[in-house]
Structure 1
Amino acid sequence: MAPLVRVAILGAESSGKSTLAAALAERHGTVWVPEYLREFVETQGRVPVAADQFGIARMQVEREAAAAALARHFLFCDTTPLMTVVYSRHYFNGADAPLAALADAHQYDVTIVTAPDSPWIPDGLQRESESVRQLIHCRLLEELAVRRIAYLLVSGPLAQRLQQVDDWMSGRAAVLPR
C-alpha cells in the first residue's frame, strides 16, 4: 500500500482554501479535512481568544488523523497548525509554546498556498477585512521562507488552480512518498 501524501492547503481568509481542498479531494477520489476554526466560530458564536489557539490547532490535527484512515493516496488538509501560528502572531502578538511545538512537529509532504486574488467576502465573525487578508498572506509567505518550506502558490479561478496543482504535482511525482 502506498504511503499517504499529506497536502497542506494554506492561505489567508477568503482565499479559496476550502473550495480547493474539496475539489482536489473529489478529483483524486479521497477525503479532505475541513478547517476546524469555522466550526469553532459557529458553535461558540464568537471568534477565538489566545487561550483557544492550541485547542483549535490540536483539534485540526486530531481530525487529520481520523481522516487519514479514510484517505486514498492523498489527504488534503484545509489549514494546519502553522496557519494558526501565523494568525496567533497577528492577533495575539505571538504563539504560546504548545502551539509552536505542535506546528513544528506536524509536517506535510506538499504545501499549497492560495493567493488572495478572489473577491474578499465577509463571513460573519470569522473574516475581518481585505487589508488583513493581504497582510496575513504576506506573513504566511514570510513564515514559509523562514522555515524553508517549499510551496506552490496557486491563483486564478478554481479550474486554473486545479491545473496548477496537477502540473506541479506531476513534476514532483519522483519526490513524493510512494
Structure 2
Amino acid sequence: MSRVQRIAILGAESTGKSWLTQALSSVIRARGHAVCTVDEVLRGWCAREGRTPHPHEQMGIAIEQARAVEQAPPVWVVADTTPLMTAVYSHMLFGDDSLYPMALAHQALYDSTLVTGIDLPWVADGLQRDGPHVRGPVDTLVRQALERAGIAYRVVYGQGHQRLNNALLALGLPSEDAAAWALREQSQYAINQGRTVWQCNECSDPDCEHKLFTGLLAKRSG
C-alpha cells in the first residue's frame, strides 16, 4: 500500500455494506496502516429520532455524511455509504432528485468506489419490509448516477472471504490470507457468542442495514 486512499462502499440494502466496510478496515489496519472508518449517518439518525427522515431532512443527513469524511484525518478512510445513497433514497422514496449534484460532487473526492452486488441472500426477520425486489431498482439508480457523473466504480460479488478478496483486488491491494481471515472470524464469533460473525456495530447480516430503515418507514406509513 503506497499511499492513503478514501474508499466508498455503496449499494442497495441487504448487500453487506457495513460488513465490507469493517472487513476492509480490519485488513488494512492489520497491515500496519492507520484507518478511519466512517459509519452510516442515516442509521444513527433513525436510532436517535425513532423514525425515518422527512424529505426536507435528507439534505442535512447528506451534508453530515459528507462532513464526516471530509474532516477525517489524513489516513486510510473507508466510508460505509456516502451522500449518494441518501440522494438515491430521496429520489426513490420522495421523487426528489435535488440531492444528486451535491452528492456526486462529494463522490468525486474518493479514490475508489465499490458497489456491493445484490447476490447475497435476503434474510427475513419478521418485520414488514418491501422484500428483495427493492434492491434491483436501488442498485440501478446508484450505477446510473455514477455513470452520469463519469465516476469509475467496481461491483463486488461473493460471500465472506471471497467478497473481501474481490474488494481488495478491485482496490489493487493484495488478497487476504485465508488463515488470517479465519482467525479474525473465530475471534469475532467467540466475542459475540456465535450469534453473528461480527459484533453488532460490525454486523455481517446482509439484511441489518435495511431492518431499521424499512421498519421505521413501515411504522410511519402505517
Determine the C-alpha separation between the residues in 2 that align with 1:11 and 1:123: 20
Find 2:163's aligned residue among 161, 164, 167.
Answer: 161
Indicate the residue corresponding to 2:51 in structure 1: 46
Contact between 2:156 and 2:167, CA under 8 Å: does it hold in 1?
yes
Determine the C-alpha separation between the residues in 2 that align with 1:22 and 1:82: 20
Find 1:62's aligned residue among 61, 67, 72.
Answer: 67
Contact between 1:10 and 1:80, CA under 8 Å: does it hold in 2?
yes
Determine the C-alpha separation between the residues in 2 that align with 1:90 and 1:148: 21
Q: How much does 1:34 deviate?
A: 0.9
Determine the C-alpha separation between the residues in 2 that align with 1:115 and 1:159: 15
Q: Deviation per CA, 1:118-167, whole angstroms, max 9, x where unpaired? A: 12246799x64311122111221122222221111001112112111222
Determine the C-alpha separation between the residues in 2 that align with 1:139 and 1:102: 16
Indicate the residue corresponding to 1:175 in structure 2: none
Indicate the residue corresponding to 1:19 in structure 2: 19
Determine the C-alpha separation between the residues in 2 that align with 1:122 and 1:62: 34
Determine the C-alpha separation between the residues in 2 that align with 1:7 and 1:32: 10
Indicate the residue corresponding to 2:105 in structure 1: 105
Find 1:143's aligned residue among 141, 145, 149.
Answer: 145
Find 1:33's aligned residue among 38, 46, 54.
Answer: 38
Determine the C-alpha separation between the residues in 2 that align with 1:27 and 1:8: 16
Determine the C-alpha separation between the residues in 1 that align with 2:149 and 2:166: 23
Local SS of the residue matching 1:83: helix
Structure number, greater radius of gyration: 2
Determine the C-alpha separation between the residues in 2 that align with 1:122 and 1:101: 35
Taking only aligned residues, the RMSD between alpha carbons, in angstroms, comes to 2.3
Alignment-mate amino acid for residue 18 of structure 1: S
Q: How much does 1:113 deviate?
A: 0.3
Q: How much does 1:52 deviate?
A: 1.2
Determine the C-alpha separation between the residues in 2 that align with 1:140 and 1:123: 25
Overall identity of the aligned pairs, in %: 40
Determine the C-alpha separation between the residues in 2 that align with 1:16 and 1:49: 25
TM-score (norm 2): 0.67
Alignment-mate amino acid for residue 57 of structure 2: D
TM-score (norm 1): 0.82
Segments of 5+ residues of structure 1 without an aligned counterpart are 172-178
Segments of 5+ residues of structure 2 without an aligned counterpart are 30-34, 174-222
Contact between 1:53 and 1:84, CA under 8 Å: does it hold in 2?
yes
